[in-house]
Amino acid sequence: MNVFRFEHPDYLYGLLVIPLIWIVWIVVLKVQKKKWDNFGDKQLVAKLMPRLSYHLKNWKMILFLLAISSLIISLANPQIGSKLQKVKRKGIDMIIEVDISNSMLAEDIKPNRLSRAKRAISKLVDKLEGDRIGIVVFAGKAYTQLPITTDYSAAKMFLSSVSTDYISTQGTSIADAIALGRETFKNAKAENKRNKAIIIITDGEDHEEGAIQQAKEAAAEGIKVYTIGMGTAKGAPIPVYRNGVKIGYKKDREGHTVISRFNEPLLQSIAKVGGGIYVRANNSKSGLKTILKEINKMNKSDIETQSFKDYESRFQIFALITLLLLVIEGLLTERKAVQKRIDLFSTDKERTKE
Q: Among 74-88, 112-126, 281-295, 326-340, where is mean pLDDT lowest?
A: 326-340
pLDDT value, residue 333: 73
pLDDT value, residue 285: 73
Taking only the tens place, the pLDDT of each residue in 252-275 is 888 899 888 878 899 999 999 999
pLDDT value, residue 85: 58
Which comes out higher in pLDDT, residue 214 or 154? 214
Question: Does residue 131 carry a pLDDT above 70?
Answer: yes
- pLDDT band of 353, cuts 50, 70, 90: very low
pLDDT value, residue 300: 65
Question: What per-residue string of b and e applies to 229-239 under the rule 16 or more CB within 10 Å gives b?
Answer: bbbbeebbbbe
Mean pLDDT, the chain, rounded, equals 82
For residues 253 and 249, what is the distance between their CA atoms, to the nearest angstrom?
13
Q: In what order do the strands lie in the sheet with 275-281?
A: 142-149, 132-138, 93-99, 196-202, 223-230, 275-281
The pTM assigned to this predicted structure is 0.62
- N- to C-terminal Cα distance for the chain? 71
Mean pLDDT of 44-60: 65
pLDDT value, residue 233: 79
Taking only the tens place, the pLDDT of each residue in 190-208 is 555 668 999 999 988 766 7
Q: Among 59-68, 94-103, 114-123, 301-310, where is mean pLDDT lowest?
A: 301-310
Tell me whether strands 301-313 and 78-91 are parallel, antiparallel or unpaired: antiparallel
Q: Among 19-23, 49-53, 69-73, where is mean pLDDT lowest?
A: 49-53
